[in-house]
Amino acid sequence: MNYVELEKLKWRSRRSMLELDLYFSRFINDGYFAKLTHEELESYQYLLTLDDGDLLLLFQGKEVLADSKLQKLVDAIIKCKLLEGTAE
C-alpha cells in the first residue's frame, strides 16, 4: 500500500468510542501498524469496515472471527497493552 492508503487507514481508525480510539491509537503509535505486512494491512482494512459495536465485541474477546488471519490481527491489537493516558 502506498503512503496515502496508509494514511487513510489511520484516519479510519478513528471511531465513535474512546475505547476503540485507544486500541487503535496505541497499535499505530507504538509502531505495530508500521510493521504490518501487505496481507496484514488488507486484514486491517477489512477490520475498519466493521461496525464499531462489532469491533468492540471482537476486542473484548466476546466474538471471534472465523478467518484466522483476521483474528490474529485482532489478537495483536488486543495484546498491544494500553498504557496510562490517552495518546492521540
Partner 1 sequence: MSLPILKFDAVVVGGGGAGLRAALQLSEAGVKTVVLSKVFPTRSHTAAAQGGISASFGNSEEDNWHWHMYDTVKGADWLGDQDAIEFMCKQATDAVAELEHYGMPFDRLENGKIYQRPFGGHMAEFGKKPVRRACAVADRTGHAMLHALYQRNVKAQTHFFVEWMALDIIRNANGDVVGVTALEMETGQVYIIHAKAVLFATGGSGRIYQASTNAFINTGDGVGMALRAGLPVEDIEFWQFHPTGLAGAGVLITEGVRGEGGYLLNANGERFMERYAPTAKDLASRDVVSRAMQVEINEGRGCGTNKDHVLLKLDHLGAEVIDQRLPGIREISIQFLGIDPVKQPIPVVPTCHYMMGGIPTNYKGEVLDGVDEKVVSGFYAAGECACASVHGANRLGTNSLLDLVVFGKSAGNSVIDFVKATPEHKELPENAGAYSLERIAKLESTTGEKVADVRRDMQICMQQHASVFRTQKALDEGVVKMREIYERAKNVVIEDKSKVFNTARVEALEFLNTVEVALATMIAASVRTESRGAHAREDYPDRNDEKWMKHTLYYRDGQRLEYKEVHTKPLTVDYIPPAKRVY
User: Considering the rule CB under 8 A, would residue 12 count as an interface residue with partner 1?
Assistant: yes
User: Considering the rule CB under 8 A, would residue 59 count as an interface residue with partner 1?
Assistant: yes
Q: CB 5 → partner 1: shortest distance, Å? A: 8
CA–CA dist 68, 53 (Å, integer): 20
Size of the residue set binding partner 1 (CB under 8 A): 31
User: Considering the rule CB under 8 A, would residue 64 count as an interface residue with partner 1?
Assistant: no
Q: Which of 31, 35, 38, 84 binds partner 1 (CB under 8 A)?
A: 84
- What are residue 77's phi and psi, to 5 degrees? -70, -40
Take residue 74 and report the three cell numbers written for it: 485482532
To which residue does cell 482494512 refer?
45
